[in-house]
Amino acid sequence: MYDKIETLKNSIIHHGPSNNRVYLTKLSPQDYPEITNSLDNLAIKNKYTKIFAKIPAGLKQAFLENDYIQEACIPKFYKGSEDAIFLGKYFSSDRKIEANQESIDKILALAKTKKDEWLIKKKPLNDDSCKIIVASTNYASEMSSVYKIVFESYPFPIHEPEYLLETMKTHIKYFCFIENNKIISIASSEMDKDNKNVEMTDFATLPEYRGRSLASYLLYQMEKEMKELSFHTAYTIARAISPGMNITFAKLGYNYAGTLTNNTNICGNLESMNIWYKHL
């Protein structure tokens, strides 16, 4: 079961039992500061164990006074000027504790040693059988099949062609790595056109094609296109225990912004997520 996307007062939230949380994705300033009480009430009513909030830095005080913890910060996130703060409030002591902290610390340390490495050593694609495309609606069914193979569970219904088709029409561009007329790797750019930021997300490579830096090629192409569309900031929320994605973003010059503890149900478990960002 996927999260519901709803309006709470004038703000946008996602919530549901799969991630066992409320996620405040867009805070309307006119809801501040009373929205903290509304979020609490929703979490308590549904017995969720976490509230996760992405908000402008100028509106954080009421959240901090209501037992939220700042977990990450992206500078100049909103329209290239105001910072974004990522906050967590926990209703379970177990969820607040990271069981894999040592592994996460090692992965972060390794990733940071790779900073800018791919940009320096990047090799062009010379194989005529390979290309990167922005997916049209004709690819939705094949894309969903790739996502089903790669992810046992996911926060959003990317396994469903209907969801991919719907989001293509509104705010997401899907980039596909094609080899011999077959999709072997995918990623997406989820665009916040009003605030000029874009989330680089939904990376998936078929198991038999891994180890070829396909995610790096996709990310590089995504950045070029988003820059041409005048987006200021690119970011990602990556699985903290996944060396590959953290290293990929570090290699392309992204900066570590913080870790969201036990935040997202992905690949069958609640996992902590690292945030990386880059100004385009």
Q: Are 61 and 50 in contact (CB under 8 A)?
A: no
pLDDT of residue 100: 95
Helix residue spans in 175-269 (DSSP H): 214-228, 243-251
Alpha carbons 175 and 246: distance in angstroms, whole number: 19
pLDDT in tens, the chain (280 residues): 678 999 999 999 999 999 999 999 999 999 999 999 999 999 999 999 999 999 999 999 999 999 999 999 999 999 999 999 999 999 999 999 999 999 999 999 999 999 988 877 776 666 677 899 999 999 999 999 999 999 988 888 899 999 999 999 999 999 999 999 999 999 999 999 999 999 999 999 999 999 989 999 999 999 999 999 999 999 999 999 999 999 999 999 999 999 999 999 988 889 999 999 999 9
pLDDT of residue 123: 67
| 176: DSSP letter | E
Q: What is the pTM of this model?
A: 0.94
pLDDT of residue 124: 65
Burial of 162 (0-12, 13-18, 19+ CB in 10 A): exposed
**Local structure of 52: helix, strand or coil:** strand
Which one, of 149, 154, 161, lies nearest residue 18 by Cα? 154
Q: Are 14 and 30 in contact (CB under 8 A)?
A: no
Domains of the chain are: 4-96 (3.40.630.30), 101-279 (3.40.630.30)
